[in-house]
Each structure stands twice: as structure tokens, then as C-alpha cells.
Amino acid sequence: MPNQASIEQLGRGASPADFAAAVQNADVIYFPEDRIASAGRSDPAALLLEAFGQSGLPFAIGWGSIVATEQGALDALATKGAAAGHALIAHLDVAGSGRAREHCRATLRETAALRHLALRCPAGLLAKWGAAARLAPEEEPLIPHGFASPAGGLAEFPARAGTAGENARSLTSDYRTELLRLQFAAEIIVRHLREANGAKLLVFADEADLAAGRGLPFYVAQKLPVRQLVFGPDAPGSARMRLLSGRGRKNGRAGFQIVDRAPRARRD
């Protein structure tokens, strides 16, 4: 790991060489599903997938739009013939906009032989957790542990979520749900990377779930010393990819901070 975190710039006009360099330099690359503009080969998401394929490096793909209960179906893709695989993909529970769902299914058809990860937390588990309801015995092992939530996260949540008028109980429930949703996905990523023997990971997720200081990279970095890259906003002067990393050790476990000086995390 580098002693200091690296921040790289990438504008709308990125070349295939830029994407190839990104694939070489990061362990995990996150791409906002919201920014998939088309199914064309010139779309940044397509260029990124092409760069992964041409790199010759082993990689897997994570999907924030696919519920974790579909993991068995994703695992079965590699063993199916084309027709059976396409039928299985067509019946997957995929969330998001029509364009994002179309991109997900098209990518699954083209990369069926790869390892795919379903990252979305089941709705029933989220509902129980938000309501502080009793979990079934089989649900308890699904709750991730060992993550630190952002300092002041609950205080700033109403303005960010547009729920400033809700009562304190509702806000707490919604915030608990958000934390579980993000930490659930992060735990799947962490477990995969620990078993991946250096293979890289491409993650398609909602842009809001990639926010610096409180998104998926924030939680993954708490448990693993991996180089993470996030395709950032396209606003003039700020279009960039952030290479996230950190260092430090606490209680025998590596601890990491996001490079853009996110608020210090606290333990729940």
C-alpha cells in the first residue's frame, strides 16, 4: 500500500488507455449505475468492462441492484448453456432504472463465466432492522459487524435524505436501514476480496452509495487495505476518479480513512 492516498483525474473524454491504467492501478473500481448512458460500446461503463477484459487480469463483478437471495442463481450462470443462462438472467430480481436493469442483464449475458456478486440487502431484513424487530435465527448471521458509522451521520442524515420533517423515531429507523444496507454490501465485498487471491473487483452501484466518507468504499476500507477507485461526478473541474486508501492499525485490525478527509468514524 502507498504511504499516502492517491487522487486521480478523469474527464468525460477519457481514452481506452485511461481506463486500462485505472484497471491496473486499483483493486476495486466502483461505477455509478446512474451514469450508464447507453448500451453503446463507447459508453464509459462499456469501455471500463472492455479494459478489464483486455487486461488479462482475473476479476469479478458486484451488483448493487441484485438482491443477495439471487446469489445462487448468479453462481449457476457459469454452468448453464446460453439459452438456459439467458432465461435465468431474464428472471433475476434486478432493481434500478430501466437502463440500469438492461445494462445489468446485458453484462451478465456477456460475462456469464465470471464470478458475480449480489450485493443488495433483502428488503425483509432491512424492514426488520429499521423497526428494531426481532430477527429470525437464520437472519442473525446476515447482520454485519465490526464497521464504524460516520461521525455525525445521524445528524446530517435528514438534510441529505430529504426527510427533515420526520420525527426522531422515523429518522433513526431510516438511518439504521441505510447503515445496514451499505454495511451488508461492504461485508460481501470484503469477504470476496479476502478469498479472491488478488483478483480485482468491478462494482456497479447507485451513485449515492458511493459517496465519500459514508458510502461503500468508506466501509470496505475499514477492513481491508485495498486500493479503491470511484468514478466521481462530471461537474466541470471536478470530474475525477478518486483512488481511495488509508493506513493504520487498531486493536490488531487494519483501519483506513477516506482520502478526502471524511469525518472520523465512530463505533455503533
CATH of the domain at 33: 3.40.50.11550
CB burial readout 55-77, b (16+ within 10 A) else e: eeeebbbbbbbbbbebeebbeeb
Residue 255 domain-assigned (yes or no): yes
Confirm whether 2 is domain-assigned. no
**CA distances, 127 to each of 36, 141, 247 (Å):** 29, 16, 35
- pTM recorded for the entire structure: 0.82
Mind listing the pLDDT tens digit for each residue in 100-123? 899 999 999 999 999 999 999 999
Convert the pLDDT of each residue in 254-267 to its tens digit: 222 223 333 345 54
Give CA separation, 97 vs 17, 36, 136, 145, 161, in Å: 30, 10, 32, 31, 19
CA gap 247, 143 in Å, rounded: 26
Give the model's pLDDT for residue 169: 77
Strand partners, 266: 149
- Enumerate residues 6+ apart whose C-beta is below 8 A from 88: 73, 76, 77, 80
Domain assignment present for residue 1? The answer is no
Contact 94, 65 (CB under 8 A): yes
- pLDDT beneath 50: ranges in the chain: 1-9, 234-264, 267-268
pLDDT of residue 179: 95
Assess if residue 210 is contained within a domain: yes
In a domain, 238, yes or no: yes
Are the C-beta atoms of residues 248 and 237 closer than 8 Å to each other? Answer: no
Q: What is the pLDDT of residue 171?
A: 84
Grid cell of 74 as nine digits:
448468479
Element (H, E) at 29: strand 28-32
- Dihedral pair phi/psi, residue 159, rounded to 5°: -65, -40
17 found inside a domain: yes
Note the pLDDT of residue 6. Answer: 37
Report how many domains make up the chain: 1
Range of the domain at 40: 7-267
Distances (CA, A) of 89 to 71, 74, 82, 106, 179: 12, 8, 10, 9, 29
CA distance to 121, 174, 206, 264, 266, per residue, from 159 (Å): 24, 13, 19, 20, 20
